[in-house]
Amino acid sequence: MFECRLPKAEVLKKTMDALKDLIKEAVWDVSAQGLSLQSMDSSHVSLVQVTLRTEGFDTFRCDKNIALGVNMDTMQKLMKCASNDDNITLKSEDNGDLLSLIFESPNGEKTSEYEMKLMDLDIEQLGIPDQEYSCTIKMPSGEFQRICRDLSNIGESVNITVVKGGVDFSAKGDIGNAKIHVTESSNVDNEKDAVTVEVNEPVNLTFALRYLNFFTKATPLSGQVSLSISPDVPLVVAYEIEDLGHVKYFLAPKIEN
């Protein structure tokens, strides 16, 4: 038996919004640690990893590890039936083929129960190595979203150059070129507005904007985004979900042939 309850459906709705354009099907792994999901996009260029920790739930019961194979589009559609303020319970039997989603209004006057058919999915899990990164940039998530969107008007790729004190995002295309320079904040009252740039060694890498734009669908989950970059390895774009977990995206770089 698996059963968990979150005080607000909003966070799970936003999580589904952050995933459904990138992946069509996925497996939620349920264990005593919480819910987690890992999946590559269909082109195998990027990977998304989600962790929702037990401690962040109102209640969490998992008698036995289970894997819930879901169609992301279906799950997102059902989640949309919840109001943001509803509390939400997810429930599944150990060998069941259904996931129950129960939404209760804050005043307790309305309870909606949906049952979603589960899928038997065999999705390859990749080992994500723990590593130190050459550079880590933290910035307002809305600013990063804006940069990715704006540079998409110019080209298909963004070149990210990180040096001490700042970062350049640049794009080239048939119509012209663009460069956006973001400087590290010198003095910030509100942590959410801060830009911090940690540099062990300067890096310069190129990434497909198409995927970065998919990743920025997670913007409503967190005021800040962190970008971890090292030469010739996937970029990590991470959104922390307050008190609950994170959504992390990994994007393979474009490199010279």
Partner 1 sequence: SKQQTSISSFFKPK
Which residue's CB is nearer to partner 1, number 60 or number 249? 249
**CA distance linking residue 84 with residue 12, whole number of Å:** 9
Told to check if 155 binds partner 1 by CB under 8 A, we report no
* Alpha helices, DSSP H, located in 20-69: none
**Angle (deg, nearest 10), helices 10-19 and 72-80:** 150
Site for partner 1 in 169-208 (CB under 8 A): 206, 208
Site for partner 1 in 23-52 (CB under 8 A): 40, 44-47
Which residue's CB is nearer to partner 1, number 45 or number 194? 45
Told to check if 253 binds partner 1 by CB under 8 A, we report yes
Strands 46-53 and 245-251: antiparallel
Instruction: Give min distance, CB of 6 to partner 1, in A.
Output: 28
Token pair, residue 214, equals 């998919």
Which residue's CB is nearer to partner 1, number 78 or number 209? 209
Instruction: Give min distance, CB of 7 to partner 1, in A.
Output: 33
DSSP label at residue 216: G
Q: Which amino acid appears at position 247 of this protein?
A: V
Site for partner 1 in 125-144 (CB under 8 A): 125-129
Q: Which residue has the tokens 């943001």?
A: 84
Instruction: Give min distance, CB of 208 to partner 1, in A.
Output: 6
> What values do phi and psi take at 79, rounded to 5?
-65, -30
Told to check if 152 binds partner 1 by CB under 8 A, we report no
**CA distance linking residue 15 with residue 56, whole number of Å:** 14
Task: Give the list of residues 6+ apart from residue 12 with CB closer than 8 angstroms, or none.
Answer: 6, 79, 82, 88
Instruction: Give min distance, CB of 232 to partner 1, in A.
Output: 9
Told to check if 247 binds partner 1 by CB under 8 A, we report no
Which residue's CB is nearer to partner 1, number 125 or number 153? 125
**How many residues line the site for partner 1 (CB under 8 A)?**
24
Helix (H, G, I), strand (E, B) or coil at 149: helix
* Chain residues in the site for partner 1 (CB under 8 A): 40, 44-47, 124-129, 157, 206, 208, 233-234, 250-257
